[in-house]
Structure 1
Amino acid sequence: MLYIADNLKWLRSKRNLSQQEAADGMKLPLDRYKKYEYGKNTPPAETLLIISRYYHISIDLLLTVDLRKTPIDNLLQLEDNRIVLPITVNNEGQNLVEIITHKAKAGYAAGGYADFTFMSQLDHISLPWLNKNEKYRTFPVDGDSMPPHNSKSYIIAKYVEKLGDVVDGKTYIVITTNNEMVYKRLNKNGKNTFTLNSDNTFYKPYEVKFSEIAEIWEYAGSLERENFKPEHFSADSLEGIIRKLQGDVMEIKERMG
């Protein structure tokens, strides 16, 4: 169901505008605007963009959310009027968390986070201990760069609205404008960049500019599908020693070369 007609009426009334004033403000012919508000026509993409910018409301919300029943002032507003989807709860008032699976990871990183249709098709999980006033999502882990988590792990993460809220040394899910999704330990280096560190020293740190970051989510817990053995946590395990030696050899080769 599309809510664009009802939302146009509600947004206009909230500003105490007449239909003529709203149409003039968006530089639309009055008769065409009335058809949108009466539900006779659905605005095309270019008109939706005009409406979105006029009311500072994302197209997602204009089309798919009944704004009369949604506290939009409390939603997380991003650039270009994009939003993080509203926080939803089940009948018991528990937070519902979207699950980004390994299969959905590439699509999410490539812009699915801004696509209402993509996000609405994801499965959800209810986690009663999460703060109902915060936005959470669950992300898959790839590889072995952040032990003890591996490709059978999922990170539960809380949305970080401002890059300045990132705390050095904590772990985060980072979504970049280069369509990457990684789980790393972050550090600010004072040059409008973050250094992304792996807990597995075999993987070298690297930098990402603030301007290259689409989203950051702070670690809030994890879901594990593997029963870890004690050696997974031991710094003296054979695997850990081998990886450390491999990293040292690579570093020596780079220095010599």
Structure 2
Amino acid sequence: MYYKISTDNNIFIIFAVPNYNKFIMSLFSDNIRALRVKHKISQEKLAENLMITRGRYVKYEDGTSEAPYDILKKIALFFHTSIDLLLSVDIRKINIENLIKLEGNRLILPIQVDNFGENYIEIVSQKAKAGYLNGYADPEYIENLQKVSLPFLGPGKHRGFPVEGDSMPPHEDGCIIIGRYVESLGQVMDGKTYILITKNEGMVYKRLNKNKKNALILESDNSFYPNYEVKASDILEIWEYECNIGRSDKKQETTETGAMKDLLLELKREVREIKNNTSNT
């Protein structure tokens, strides 16, 4: 069993799969043929609903032609499923009726549970992190991740992600942030911390603010690192901070020590800005 989130942005990842023409097109053709037969609809009738000719549709079902995005979207809406499900999962092997449906035709596939019925939490280790951008929508990749169970977290889908660097103290290299899946940008709350999976920045853990339309401002708790912006269209997944798993028992710094460190970091940041401005002139 596996878990997978469908979003409108998944299409960009799916098209990056190696050997797309040989594998994805074949899987897509098999899927739309299986769905058409299951719904007992003819090729001609389906083509009519898609507002294309039967000859054009037959090429998609035979795998001799790639369906453009607008046709993919129409087919997904017609069968009440998601584009990435059509392209990446053999729907003949799963029970679509038992899938959990979200708004916008997004779906969650079944998830693994422990002996007490609690959802497992997949842990994206440091080793697995490099492949997450290409694997977050791949059932096999998700299924092979290490898993733990933390019943106290309550409802929701959770996943663990590794922390790198010192931009978000007190979290340190090696600790794991456990996040709860966020279905939409509207659920993001200003000032809270989140794991973001983005097409350009990869995996980041930051404090978020929605003070720009169709974009998020990412802030580090370490003032040495400047804020930056991520467009909503670049975001693949958002996971809200729930807890962290770490091994450090380092003593918390005193207020005076922390203030001195912040002053030093601010000085370093100003020096870096001066250097950048000098190099740009």
| Letter in structure 2 aligned against 1:201 | S
Q: 1:179 to 1:203 in 2, by over 3 A?
A: closer
Alpha-carbon distance in structure 2 between the residues aligned to 1:194 and 1:106? 24
After superposing the two structures, state which structure 1 stretch, 212-221 or 166-175, moved more: 212-221
Alpha-carbon distance in structure 2 between the residues aligned to 1:21 and 1:91? 48
- Once the 2 structures are TM-superposed, how far is the Cα of residue 246 of structure 1 from its aligned partner? 3.1
Of 91, 94, 98, 2:118 maps to: 94
| Letter in structure 2 aligned against 1:88 | Q
Could you report, residue by residue, the CA deviation over 1:45-94 in whole angstroms, capped at 9, with x for unpaired residues?
A: 959x967675234134444752156234259955xxxx555443223111
1:236 equivalenced with 2:259 (yes/no): no
After superposing the two structures, state which structure 1 stretch, 195-204 or 241-250, moved more: 241-250
| Letter in structure 2 aligned against 1:246 | L
Alpha-carbon distance in structure 2 between the residues aligned to 1:86 and 1:126? 16
| Letter in structure 1 aligned against 2:245 | L
Alpha-carbon distance in structure 1 between the residues aligned to 2:54 and 2:124? 40
Give percent identity, aligned residues only.
40
Q: RMSD of aligned C-alpha atoms?
A: 3.8
| Letter in structure 1 aligned against 2:210 | K
Q: 1:8 to 1:128 in 2, by over 3 A?
A: farther
- Once the 2 structures are TM-superposed, how far is the Cα of residue 148 of structure 1 from its aligned partner? 1.0
Q: TM-score, normalised by structure 2?
A: 0.67
Q: Tell me if the contact between 1:203 and 1:247 (Cα under 8 Å) persists in the aligned partners.
A: no
1:203 equivalenced with 2:225 (yes/no): yes
Count how many residue pairs are aligned between Structure 1 and Structure 2.
Answer: 235
Q: TM-score, normalised by structure 1?
A: 0.73
Of 232, 244, 247, 1:222 maps to: 244
- Once the 2 structures are TM-superposed, how far is the Cα of residue 228 of structure 1 from its aligned partner? 3.0
Alpha-carbon distance in structure 2 between the residues aligned to 1:91 and 1:76? 33
Alpha-carbon distance in structure 2 between the residues aligned to 1:122 and 1:45? 35
Could you report, residue by residue, the CA deviation over 1:135-190 in whole angstroms, capped at 9, with x for unpaired residues?
A: 21111100111111111211110111111211000000011111511100011123
2:265 corresponds to which residue? 246
Q: Tell me if the contact between 2:99 and 2:110 (Cα under 8 Å) persists in the aligned partners.
A: no
Q: Tell me if the contact between 1:95 and 1:130 (Cα under 8 Å) persists in the aligned partners.
A: no
**What stretches of structure 1 of length at least 5 have no aligned partner?**
37-41
1:71 corresponds to which residue? 99
Instruction: Map 1:55-204 to 2 at 5 A.
Output: 55=79, 56-57=81-82, 58-59=85-86, 60-63=88-91, 66-67=94-95, 70-73=98-101, 77-78=105-106, 85-109=109-133, 111-132=134-155, 134-204=156-226
- Once the 2 structures are TM-superposed, how far is the Cα of residue 248 of structure 1 from its aligned partner? 2.6
- Once the 2 structures are TM-superposed, how far is the Cα of residue 23 of structure 1 from its aligned partner? 6.9
Q: Tell me if the contact between 2:159 and 2:180 (Cα under 8 Å) persists in the aligned partners.
A: yes
Alpha-carbon distance in structure 2 between the residues aligned to 1:197 and 1:184? 6
Alpha-carbon distance in structure 1 between the residues aligned to 2:45 and 2:250? 61
Q: 1:146 to 1:91 in 2, by over 3 A?
A: same
